Amino acid sequence: MNQLTRDVMDRIYTGYKTQYNKGLATVKTQYLKYCEVVASDSPIEKYPMVSLTGGMRKWIGPRVVNRMTGKIVTITNDDYEDTLGIPANDLRYDKLSIYNGRFVDMGIVAGNLWDKLAVTQVLSNPLWCDGKPFFVANRTIDDKDMIIINNLVALGFSFEAYSAGRKQMMAFCDATGEPLELVPDLLMVGPKYEESARSMLLNETIIIGGVAVTNPYRNPNVELIVNGRFIGDYEDQWRLMCTSRGVKPFVVQKVFESGLVRKDSATDDNMFNDNEAVYGLHSIGAAGPGLPQLCIGGIPAPSAGAKKK
């Protein structure tokens, strides 16, 4: 039996923190491939949107100065927590190991927060700074409303839908009409389409119309991410991104990550009143949209007669 002295509680905390760090070491970092990570120090961050350019121009007359578009994306930070209470008697009776797995899981949950926030943005189709949804067919980026950015494919995932999205992105131009020469390099689908997406990108032959044919979509340079949040109402959706430019399709902003915090002193209210040690996490941050030119959204059009949610 343990006497819950400060030294004993310190050793218990060190053991649980080791388990927490084991979980933290296994976290997903997929969001880093398609998100610009920003250190935030304000409750609300405002990002002036840059204008992608197709390249350097021949210098004739005065320089043409590329500036921010004047449009602002606003991203508001939120607080997130995860808290575990352990009966103090379990610590006294040395039943410490039964909680090891829960602390590993706390580490996983803490580290995966940023991937969760990023994918939530990827799926939510938020409003962009022009007041239109991030994925939309009729966005214009020039003063004369002639240059259209259509980053929406209103079809569920299929070889043909992927091909359409790829062609749309590769046809994007800057505000002067200069081709951006964007090349998609990341495909995101859900578990439903993992096998077909993988075979499309990697196999020499595929089945089209029941016939084995040479795979016209094969491209091992496109990375496949299978995300477990593309399920249910989102199972047929997909995203195609270009991540090779200096800016990214989405933004993750981080303010604070507490690590594993404890309230396990005999004088803490929870120990004194409830005979319970408490361990918790606290993170502050958010995610938001970046540049729509860098992501194609495959979002099936609602079927006729479908109920609006």
| pLDDT score recorded for residue 68 | 43
Contact 231, 190 (CB under 8 A): yes
Alpha-carbon dihedral sign for residues 185, 248, 126, 231: positive
Residue 47's pLDDT is 84
Nearest alpha-carbon partner for 39 in 269, 235, 241, 252:
252
Beta strands in the chain (DSSP E): 35-39, 44-48, 72-76, 78-87, 139-140, 148-149, 152-153, 186-189, 205-208, 211-214, 223-226, 238-241, 250-257, 261-263, 276-289, 295-298
E strand spans, 141-222: 148-149, 152-153, 186-189, 205-208, 211-214
Q: What percent of the chain has pLDDT over 70?
A: 93
Confidence category of residue 56, pLDDT binned at 50, 70, 90? low
The whole-number average pLDDT for the span 95-100 is: 91
Q: Residue 210: what pLDDT?
A: 86
What distance in Å separates the CA atoms of residue 294 and residue 94, rounded to the nearest whole number?
A: 54
Flag whether pLDDT at 119 surpasses 80.
Answer: yes
Tokens (6 digits) for 279? 């361990």
Give the mean pLDDT of 125-139.
Answer: 92
Note the pLDDT of residue 18: 97
Cα(first)–Cα(last) distance of the chain, in Å? Answer: 56
DSSP letter assigned to residue 44 = E
Task: Take residue 32 and report the two structure tokens written for it.
Answer: 């880093």
What residue spans define the domains of the chain? 6-50+68-298
pLDDT tier for residue 54 given thresholds of 50, 70 and 90: low
Q: What is the CATH number of domain 6-50+68-298?
A: 3.90.1690
Residue 302: per-residue pLDDT? 83
Q: Average pLDDT, stretch 228-255? A: 96
Main-chain phi, psi angles of 160, to 5 degrees: -65, -40
pLDDT digit string (tens) for 146-196? 788 999 999 999 999 999 999 999 999 988 888 999 999 999 999 999 999
Cβ contacts of 72 within 8 Å, gap of 6 or more: 46, 47, 48, 49, 129
Is 66 a residue whose pLDDT tops 80?
no
pLDDT at residue number 140: 86
- Per-residue pLDDT band for 309 (boundaries 50, 70, 90) equals very low
What's the confidence (pLDDT) of residue 49? 73
pLDDT of residue 307 exceeding 70, the answer is no
Q: Flag whether pLDDT at 65 surpasses 80.
A: no
